[in-house]
Amino acid sequence: MHLKPFALAFLAFVAGVSSKTTARSTCDPKARGAGLEAKQRSAIHDLAQIMFVQQDVRKAFNTYIPGEYINHNPSAISGREWSLEFLEQMYETPDISVSSLTALAGEGYGILHYRLMAPSAGIDWAIMDRLRFEGTCFVEHWDVVQTIFGNETNPVAFF
């Protein structure tokens, strides 16, 4: 691909703009007030976009899980670094994908429900994550993971 100089300048401009956008859109643990629930709704949707569509785990954590992170998953330990490392490694699986996604927020919590597939790693899971907000940041996590076998008796199993 041959890029003309103006195209390169444009890409550099876009990269500069998007890094500024990222910095501005970092969550605010002190966010309060009447508009908070709407901000939390947009935070959970943006987290889902960064994590599951862009598959940029580090950006998702830097933007929405910048500090304290209490994790109740029985195989995990608390602290953002542990989860960041675990998820970054998992999302390096080449054929990993997310589908059937629902993201919502209310009463101080965000919910993500989705199918995570990575056939090469034997992963086919229906996952529900519950995340507690502090302002527009996430500070606590619970999850439930179901294995999808494909032979379920319920014709509307999982989704």
Of the pair 75, 154, the CB lying nearest ligand NAG is at 154
Of the pair 21, 147, the CB lying nearest ligand NAG is at 147
Of the pair 21, 154, the CB lying nearest ligand NAG is at 154
Beta bridge partners of 131: 110, 141
Q: How far is the CB of 152 from ligand NAG (least distance, A)?
A: 6
Q: How far is the CB of 138 from ligand NAG (least distance, A)?
A: 34
What CA dihedral angle connects 66, 69, 127 and 132, to 10 degrees?
-90
Q: What is the DSSP letter of 147?
A: E
- What stretch of H or E contains 138? strand 137-147
Nearest to 132 by CA among 69, 79, 74, 89: 69
Of the pair 21, 151, the CB lying nearest ligand NAG is at 151
Q: What is the DSSP letter of 134?
A: E
- What stretch of H or E contains 59? helix 57-64
Of the pair 75, 151, the CB lying nearest ligand NAG is at 151
Q: How far is the CB of 30 from ligand NAG (least distance, A)?
A: 48
> Under the rule (CB under 6 A), what is the footprint of ligand NAG?
149, 151, 153
Positive or negative torsion for Cα 138, 139, 142, 146: positive
